[in-house]
Every structure is written in C-alpha cells, then in structure tokens.
Amino acid sequence: MVQRMAEDRAAVREFFTERAARWEARFPDDGPAYAAAVAELGLSPGASVLDAGCGTGRALPALREAVGSEGTVLGADLTPAMLEEAVGNGRDRDAALLMADVSQLPLRDGLLDAVFGAGLISHLPGPGSGLRELARVVRSEGQLALFHPVGRAALAERHGRQITPDDVRAEPVLRPLLAAAGWRLVSYVDEDDRYLALAVREPQES
C-alpha cells in the first residue's frame, strides 16, 4: 500500500515535471475561464481557500482577488517543477505554496472555507480518498469547485480518445463519489468550453 502510493506519486511527478516549463504557454488564453470559475465560488473577503493541485498557479491570482489581503490562499501540489514555475511566475505573491499530496494534507480539520481543484481529480489514483481528505480540511457548508477549462467531450477529442461512462468526472460517477466523501453536488456543467462541478461540505456530526 505504502509502496503503491509512492509509485503513484512518482508517476504524477514524472508526468508533470516533463510538462511544467511549457504548461502556461500551451494554454495562454485560459485566465478569464479560471477567473469565472473562481467567481462561482462566491468567496467572501477574508475567506480561506486551497487550490488543490495548483500546478503553476493559474488560479491563484483570481483566488487572491476574491478573498482580498485579509484572506488566506494556499496552493498545494505534488510536483516540485510545477511549484517552481509558480514561483517563477510570481504566484507566491498570491498564495502560500506547499508541496503536498492533496490526499494527505498537513492542515487541520475544518480549516478552510473552500477548495478549488482544476484538472486535478482525473490524476488522483484514489479519487475517493482525495475527496475525503479535501472534505476533512473544509468546514461544514464549505465549498468545493472541480474545474477544467475544457469539457469532457472536447478534452477527449483533443487527446484522440473516446469519452467513457466510467470517467470519474461523469456526473453519475462523481455524484456518489462526492457523497461518500462528505460532499453534496449542487451544480454540474459539462460544456465544450467549461467543466465545473460545485459541491458543498455536508454538516459533520459532532
């Protein structure tokens, strides 16, 4: 089990290390889509938010803008090369960056008001445990946004593959997965130019 986790992490790091330097240049026009997705969270000034799998930090300026200087923005990623790009792009001015696995976060229970995860969930070998860990660090009624600037069908086409019904991002798969992890799916959009699933943290029994 521990060895399997180490292998999974190594595979993710290898995949994204190769892509880190070119990541932002490949998708230069996505900024407004990230800002629009962040806006859907309706974050208040002073709120605390985590960008889970922040990569080079494309969402971090919009998250900082939303919570203001009194708020807290964290960016967590497993791949050092992606975080180095984030620093090179000055994104460490918008957020505290940490190298961490989102399935094992060094954060206390209920710390955050919200989590934003762009392009993350498909890369988690165990999406259920990742979503449970994200639920652990979010307060009751806090929010989760799972975003991608391209919808499932358009992304599959880009990668030359077919869309499959067992895709973790498909609503019939995602909804029960979220529920088992402590989230309630409240909104789901899968269009060519946007994938956005919004969920709310179910109140926890005390």
Ligand X SMILES: C[S@@+](CC[C@H](N)C(=O)[O-])C[C@H]1O[C@@H](n2cnc3c(N)ncnc32)[C@H](O)[C@@H]1O
Question: Among 43, 60, 61, 79, which residue interacts with ligand X (rule: CB under 6 A)?
Answer: 79
Shortest Cβ distance from residue 91 to ligand X (Å)?
A: 11
Q: What is the rounded CA–CA span in Å between residue 202 and residue 62?
A: 26
Q: What is the rounded CA–CA span in Å between residue 151 and residue 81?
A: 26
Q: Are the C-beta atoms of 136 and 70 separated by less than 8 Å? A: no
Under the binding rule (CB under 6 A), the answer on residue 115 touching ligand X is no
Under the binding rule (CB under 6 A), the answer on residue 16 touching ligand X is yes
Question: Among 47, 54, 115, 121, which residue interacts with ligand X (rule: CB under 6 A)?
Answer: 54
Question: Among 38, 49, 112, 120, which residue interacts with ligand X (rule: CB under 6 A)?
Answer: 120
Please give the DSSP secondary-structure letter assigned to residue 30: -
Shortest Cβ distance from residue 111 to ligand X (Å)?
A: 17
What the block records as the tokens of 206 is 């005390």
Count other C-beta atoms under 10 Å from residue 56's C-beta. Answer: 26
Of 121-160, binders to ligand X (CB under 6 A) are 123-124
Under the binding rule (CB under 6 A), the answer on residue 53 touching ligand X is yes
Smallest CA-to-CA distance from 178 within 122, 110, 131 is with: 131
Residue placing its CB nearer to ligand X in the complex, 48 or 56: 56
CA-CA-CA-CA torsion sign (131, 134, 136, 141): negative
Q: Are the C-beta atoms of 25 and 58 separated by less than 8 Å? A: no
Question: Among 78, 97, 115, 198, which residue interacts with ligand X (rule: CB under 6 A)?
Answer: 78
Binding site for ligand X (CB under 6 A): 12, 16, 53-56, 58, 76-79, 82, 101-103, 118-120, 123-124
